């Protein structure tokens, strides 16, 4: 890796993957509209559900969330979900199944990094073209809680880390294509289990004790619950905020290492079995 | 058996510039133009014949085959296959035809090959005796059993193509359309596929329409050739007739003389035969290539016999590929201007 | 005479395809377990969410925990059946038009839609949904001490069947858009996603959304309305079920046929 010149020069090699991915995306302009619709309906279900809960309850706030807080959580949880939907799992498993993955070995770039470069524009396009309109729509319809500047700043850092975690998870799911032909099944598991433990459906604070403890111990909480706790100021003192970010950072590193390891295993397999 | 009358097919092509800006452009505009893929093709293929339908890439041959198989409706004109207009009575037509579409599979992707055949037997209502006879034949010639219980999506191209060819024939169709049927096959299996097609044609009178880039396929299977260029039939006849349109022929000969110094012989030939060229090929033989419009083979042979002590002489048939290449590149009329719309 | 022989023929083909698929099921046991297990896990997550919601309030929009579980379980029955028979439509939406492979359904002497569906017949993943759905319905009915009358018992399978037809029609409708857009996966996905609303009581939602789920994309008829009937013995909209099913099937087939015609014009 160190042989090949300066860091910016090396990074520039990944730009074509980003450009190609963006180009591919723009061909399906309908996708964005549909993604927006999907996210908006998902938020809709949750918001309606929780509004009914708040209407039917007898006092006290679930997990310390009042309705505007919870609505904000539910809304932004979908936004983070959109940003982590970077298609990497689909593309990688597709390449594995078609056997195209062998071709990737011929390129003078790191495959995981190339995938990251290709996934980034998907995330960012989803964030700008899809998430912004959805957030604006709900901001007009429902009372939301406005985050502090400090919260927003911490959220920004945390969201960036959540992208890395989400990428690692997706890459691992994609590489599962080497182990099973039913990638669809793996993705169903991922979509439901990861989203659940990430806190994309219900904040971790609302889960019963043992379940919340399990969720805290898994990397997925860094994808949604962590960033949103920082945004909504649901921590005590700077130390806890730092620890949320620290845990995310550790998981991001661990998952990257795991993905690299899995990739190395995949390469060995391709070399032996030819894909 | 197959009739095409003035078949025309136009496509709308959406303009898209190159690169990122180009695709950004498509976000905002939907300009398109009409491209004529097939322009008034007419031909007739009698029952029981084996015809190669050939043309350069983009000559409109796959579009024509799509119209003949009922997958595509012509813009104008008419096609008849076994008495039916394929695109009008698609399902009835489907019972009469078999299709191999090169790279694209028609098998059940998630199922092993034997299951695909079991289903084909059901949907075509193939009588037991016919099914058993055909499967025995395929096992024999194509070694279908070797494909085992692997789902089609996991087969190699060569393995899959064997199954595809067999699947196109299993219901004893009246007509079979073969598009690159031997792609991905080794020489032995290529031979086997060719033998299978020829045998089915001889025994059942199946009409064969072959499109292939493999000249070996064409020579081994077909007795007639239709050459399409720019969506029009530019040659129709037997393979032999096509070869006769070659504008150069060649003669190779050996002679008693100094094999170390052929320069003299070459100079002599090129001086006497205007427009011919002579070269030394391996084994010391001299190859004389001459324009057919200028010299007859009798004149050439006469000259050689007169001046050399000829010990061996061959006149190979002209090479089909170069004949075709000349048709594609030489016989080009100016391209019709695409009509701009919208 | 002809309709009868056609029906017999398709019934026989269906039988053959089922036999082939069952054979496959035993051969790829791992894949089957993964798909069915994945769907099971998804339901477990959904049940967990419902459980957490009911930790906060004993009753939501007039529904109790077990009733919501019953509704969720019932919604999985038509879903599972639909998935078992029509999942090839996803492939149509995603790539069959785009990569030109749709041609193969036009060169077989059976109805192209049947030919298409035949490629993922009795798709094993659907069993997961069907079984968890049945389990959930059973469990909830038991806890609610539900005692259905004869009419309810007789109607129950019909309700599931109509629900399946509605889901299959919605899928066909949106997958057929691929004939115009070459890739209708996002549209199909979004329509499918809206179906997630139907696992919960429609009373939760804003009236406009309720209207949409009843009359525009009638997911209400696949779970909320039949489940309400089975739970409470009343569902004012139930009489509409057959009309909605028939109308939607007709619409889906019409769009499909228009789409195939278009494919024949453009070949893409």
pLDDT digits over C169-228, tens only? 999 999 999 998 888 887 888 788 888 888 889 998 888 889 999 999 999 999 999 999
Q: Supply C221's token pair.
A: 């008829």
- B258 phi, psi to nearest 5 deg: -80, 105
Average pLDDT over residues A100-115: 80
- Find, among B240, B250, B341, the residue nearest to B304 by Cα: B250
Q: Supply B120's token pair.
A: 């084909």
Average pLDDT over residues C113-133: 85
Q: Is B103 on the interface with A (CB under 8 A)?
A: no
Output the pLDDT for position B335: 39
Indicate the SS3 state at residue C140.
Answer: helix
Mode of pairing for the β-strands spanning B175-179 and B97-101: parallel
DSSP state of B118: H
Interface of B with C in 51-80 (CB under 8 A): 63, 66, 69-73
Which residues are CB-contacts of B124 (< 8 A; sequence separation ≥ 6)? B95, B170, B171, C109
* Residue A275: pLDDT over 50: no
Q: Which chain B residues contact residue C12 at CB under 8 A? A: 122
Range of the domain at A73: 17-269
Number of H helices, E strands in chain C: 12, 0
Over the range B284-317, which residues count as b (16 or more CB within 10 Å of their CB) and which as e? ebbebebeeeebeeeebbebbeeebeeeeeeeee
Instruction: Give the nearest chain A residue to C192 (CA atoms).
Output: A38
Q: Closest Cα of chain A to C105: distance in Å?
A: 22
- B86 phi, psi to nearest 5 deg: -55, -45
The answer to whether the CB of A167 falls within 8 A of the CB of A116 is: yes
Q: Which chain A residues contact residue B25 at CB under 8 A? A: none
Lowest mean pLDDT among A40-49, A77-86, B332-341, C81-90: B332-341
Q: Closest Cα of chain C to B206: distance in Å?
A: 17
Element containing residue B248 per DSSP (H, E): strand B248-255
* Residue C72: pLDDT over 90: yes
Please indicate whether residue A59 or residue B172 has the higher confidence score (pLDDT).
Answer: B172
Q: Closest Cα of chain A to B148: distance in Å?
A: 18
Distance CA(B94)–CA(B91), nearest Å, equals 5
Considering the domain boundaries, does residue A121 fall inside one?
yes
Q: Which chain A residues contact residue C200 at CB under 8 A? A: 45, 49
Q: Supply C53's token pair.
A: 């919601």
Indicate the SS3 state at residue B228.
Answer: strand
Judge: B118–C20 Cβ closer than 8 Å, yes or no: yes
Q: Which chain B residues contact residue C118 at CB under 8 A? A: 108, 119
- A49 phi, psi to nearest 5 deg: -60, -50
The answer to whether the CB of B161 falls within 8 A of the CB of B185 is: yes
Of the pLDDT bands very low, low, confident and very high (cuts 50, 70, 90), residue A273 is low
Interface of B with A in 120-159 (CB under 8 A): 153
* Site of tokens 């976000």: B27
The CA distances from residue A81 to A85, A166, C265, in Å, are 6, 9, 40
Q: Which chain B residues contact residue A23 at CB under 8 A? A: 19-20, 23
Q: Supply C258's token pair.
A: 């228009």
Spacing of C-alpha C110 from chain mean position: 24
Point out the residue among C34, C49, C209 whose CB comes nearest to the CB of A44: C209
The answer to whether the CB of C186 falls within 8 A of the CB of A34 is: yes
Distance CA(B63)–CA(B53), nearest Å, equals 12
- Find, among B139, B159, B121, B108, the residue nearest to C24 by Cα: B108
Over the range C13-44, which residues count as b (16 or more CB within 10 Å of their CB) and which as e? bbebbeebbeebeeebeebbbbbbebbbbbbe
Output the pLDDT for position B331: 52
Q: Is A59 on the interface with C (CB under 8 A)?
A: no
Output the pLDDT for position B258: 65
Considering the domain boundaries, does residue A1 fall inside one?
no
Judge: B11–C266 Cβ closer than 8 Å, yes or no: yes
Distance CA(C148)–CA(C155), nearest Å, equals 10
- B50 phi, psi to nearest 5 deg: -120, 110
Q: Closest Cα of chain A to C220: distance in Å?
A: 14
Judge: B20–A27 Cβ closer than 8 Å, yes or no: no
Q: Closest Cα of chain B to A149: distance in Å?
A: 35
Q: What is the mean pLDDT of chain A?
A: 85
Q: What is the mean pLDDT of chain C?
A: 88
Q: Mutating which of A74, A176, A185 best tests the C interface, going by the most C Cβ atoms within 10 A?
A: A185
Under 8 Å CB pairs connecting chains B and C tally to 82
Tally the domains of chain A. Answer: 1
DSSP-assigned states of every residue in C67-133: HHHHHHHHHHHHHHHHHHHHTHHHHIIIIITTTTGGGGGTSSSS-HHHHHHGGGTT-THHHHHHHHH
Q: Supply C168's token pair.
A: 């299959």
Considering the domain boundaries, does residue A46 fall inside one?
yes
Q: How many CB atoms lie within 10 A of CB A108?
A: 6
User: Chains with ≥3 Cβ pairs under 8 A against C?
Assistant: A, B
Q: Supply C37's token pair.
A: 């297990």
Output the pLDDT for position B259: 61
The answer to whether the CB of B253 falls within 8 A of the CB of B310 is: yes
Indicate the SS3 state at residue A193.
Answer: helix
Distance CA(C175)–CA(B254), nearest Å, equals 69
Q: Closest Cα of chain B to A27: distance in Å?
A: 7
Output the pLDDT for position B208: 95
Q: How many CB atoms lie within 10 A of CB A212?
A: 19
Q: Mutating which of A31, A36, A40, A45 best tests the C interface, going by the most C Cβ atoms within 10 A?
A: A45
- Find, among B311, B304, B313, the residue nearest to B272 by Cα: B304
Instruction: Give the nearest chain B residue to C100 (CA atoms).
Output: B104
Q: Mutating which of B23, B24, B159 best tests the A interface, going by the most A Cβ atoms within 10 A?
A: B23
Q: Which chain A residues contact residue B19 at CB under 8 A? A: 23
The CA-based dihedral angle spanning residues B254, B256, B262, B266, taken in that order and rounded to the nearest 10 degrees: -70
Give B54's strand partners: B227
DSSP state of B144: G
Helix axes B128-142, B187-204, angle to 10 degrees: 150
Distance CA(A20)–CA(A14), nearest Å, equals 10
Which residues are CB-contacts of A66 (< 8 A; sequence separation ≥ 6)? none
Output the pLDDT for position B334: 38
Q: Closest Cα of chain C to A51: distance in Å?
A: 8
* Residue C34: pLDDT over 60: yes
- Find, among A32, A66, B100, A180, the residue nearest to C31 by Cα: A180
Indicate the SS3 state at residue B142.
Answer: helix
Lowest mean pLDDT among A137-151, B156-170, C10-24: C10-24
The answer to whether the CB of C203 falls within 8 A of the CB of C61 is: yes
Of the pLDDT bands very low, low, confident and very high (cuts 50, 70, 90), residue A1 is very low
The answer to whether the CB of A202 falls within 8 A of the CB of C52 is: yes
Profile chain B (342 residues) by mean pLDDT over runs of 10 residues.
Answer: 90 62 51 80 91 79 86 90 90 90 80 87 90 93 86 85 92 93 88 93 94 85 86 81 82 76 79 83 82 84 86 81 74 40 34
* Residue A145: pLDDT over 60: yes
Please indicate whether residue C157 or residue A184 has the higher confidence score (pLDDT).
Answer: C157
Judge: A41–C196 Cβ closer than 8 Å, yes or no: yes
Instruction: Give the nearest chain B residue to C260 (CA atoms).
Output: B71
The answer to whether the CB of A99 falls within 8 A of the CB of A275 is: yes
């Amino acid at each position: 890796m160190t042989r090949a010149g300066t860091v910016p020069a090396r990074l520039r090699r990944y730009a074509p993957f980003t450009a190609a991915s963006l180009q591919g995306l723009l061909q399906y302009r309908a996708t964005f509209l549909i993604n927006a619709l999907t996210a908006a309906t998902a938020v809709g279900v949750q918001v309606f559900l929780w509004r009914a809960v708040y209407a039917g309850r007898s006092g006290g706030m679930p997990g310390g969330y009042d309705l505007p807080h919870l609505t904000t959580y539910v809304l932004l949880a979908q936004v983070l979900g959109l940003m982590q939907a970077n298609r990497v799992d689909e593309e990688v498993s597709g390449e594995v199944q078609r056997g195209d993955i062998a071709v990737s070995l011929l390129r003078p770039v790191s495959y995981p990094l190339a995938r990251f470069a290709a996934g980034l524009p998907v995330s960012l396009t989803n964030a700008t073209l899809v998430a912004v309109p959805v957030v604006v729509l709900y901001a007009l319809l429902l009372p939301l809680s406005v985050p502090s500047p400090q919260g927003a700043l911490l959220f920004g850092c945390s969201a960036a880390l959540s992208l890395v975690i989400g990428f690692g998870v997706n890459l691992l799911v994609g590489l599962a294509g080497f182990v099973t032909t039913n990638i669809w099944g793996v993705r169903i598991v991922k979509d439901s289990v990861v989203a659940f433990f990430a806190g994309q459906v219900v904040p971790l604070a609302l889960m019963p004790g043992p379940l919340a403890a399990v969720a805290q111990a898994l990397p997925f909480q860094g994808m949604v619950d962590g960033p949103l706790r920082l945004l909504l100021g649901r921590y005590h003192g700077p130390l806890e905020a730092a620890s949320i970010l620290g845990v995310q950072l550790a998981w991001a590193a661990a998952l990257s290492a795991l993905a690299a390891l899995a990739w190395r295993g995949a390469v060995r397999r391709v070399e032996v079995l030819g894909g | 058996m197959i009739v095409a009358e003035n078949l025309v097919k136009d496509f709308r092509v959406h303009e898209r510039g190159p690169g990122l800006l180009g695709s950004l452009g498509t976000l905002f505009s939907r300009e398109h133009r009409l491209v004529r893929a097939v322009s008034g093709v007419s031909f007739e293929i009698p029952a029981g014949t084996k015809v190669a339908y050939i043309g350069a890439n983009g000559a409109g041959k796959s579009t024509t085959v799509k119209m003949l198989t009922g997958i595509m409706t012509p813009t104008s004109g008419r096609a008849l296959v076994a008495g039916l207009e394929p695109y009008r009575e698609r399902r009835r037509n489907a019972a009469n035809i078999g299709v191999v579409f090169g790279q694209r599979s028609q098998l059940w992707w998630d199922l092993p090959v034997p299951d695909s055949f079991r289903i084909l037997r059901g949907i075509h209502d193939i009588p037991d005796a016919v099914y058993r006879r055909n499967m025995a034949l395929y096992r024999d010639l194509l070694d279908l059993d070797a494909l085992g219980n692997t789902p089609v999506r996991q087969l190699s191209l060569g393995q899959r193509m064997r199954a595809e060819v067999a699947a196109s024939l299993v219901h004893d169709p009246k007509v079979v359309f073969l598009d690159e049927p031997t792609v991905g096959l080794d020489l032995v299996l290529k031979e086997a596929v060719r033998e299978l097609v020829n045998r089915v044609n001889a025994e059942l009178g199946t009409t064969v329409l072959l499109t292939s880039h493999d000249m070996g396929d064409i020579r081994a299977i077909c007795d007639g050739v239709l050459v399409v260029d720019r969506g029009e039939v530019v040659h129709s006849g037997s393979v032999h007739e096509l070869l006769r349109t070659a504008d150069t022929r060649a003669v190779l000969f050996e002679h008693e003389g100094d094999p170390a110094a052929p320069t003299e012989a070459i100079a002599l030939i090129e001086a006497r035969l205007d427009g011919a060229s002579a070269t030394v090929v391996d084994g010391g033989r001299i190859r004389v290539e001459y324009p057919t419009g200028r010299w007859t083979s009798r004149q050439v042979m006469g000259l050689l016999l007169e001046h050399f002590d000829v010990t061996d002489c061959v006149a190979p048939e002209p090479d089909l590929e170069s004949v075709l290449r000349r048709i594609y590149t030489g016989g080009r009329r100016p391209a019709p201007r695409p009509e701009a719309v919208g | 005479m002809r309709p009868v022989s056609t029906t017999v023929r398709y019934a026989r083909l269906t039988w053959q395809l089922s036999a082939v698929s069952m054979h496959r099921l035993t051969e790829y046991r791992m894949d089957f377990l993964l798909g069915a297990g994945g769907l099971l896990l998804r339901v477990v997550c959904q049940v967990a969410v419902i459980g957490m919601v009911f930790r906060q309030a004993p009753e939501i929009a007039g529904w109790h925990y077990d009733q919501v579980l019953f509704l969720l379980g019932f919604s999985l029955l038509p879903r599972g059946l639909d998935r078992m028979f029509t999942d090839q439509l996803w492939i149509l939406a995603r790539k069959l038009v785009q990569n030109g492979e749709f041609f193969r359904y036009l060169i077989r002497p059976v109805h192209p839609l049947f030919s298409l569906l035949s490629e993922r017949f009795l798709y094993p993943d659907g069993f997961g949904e069907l079984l968890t759905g049945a389990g959930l319905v059973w469990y909830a009915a038991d806890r609610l001490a539900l005692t259905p009358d004869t009419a309810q018992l007789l109607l129950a399978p019909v309700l599931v069947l109509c629900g399946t037809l509605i889901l299959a029609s919605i899928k066909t409708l949106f997958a057929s858009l691929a004939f115009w857009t070459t890739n209708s996966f996002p549209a199909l996905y979004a329509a499918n996603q809206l179906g997630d609303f139907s696992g919960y009581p429609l009373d939760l939602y804003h009236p406009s959304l309720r209207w949409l789920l009843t009359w525009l994309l009638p997911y209400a008829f696949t779970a909320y309305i039949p489940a309400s009937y089975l739970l409470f013995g009343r569902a004012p909209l139930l009489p509409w079920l057959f009309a909605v099913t028939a109308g939607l099937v007709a619409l889906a087939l019409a769009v499909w046929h228009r789409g195939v015609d278009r494919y024949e014009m453009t070949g893409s």
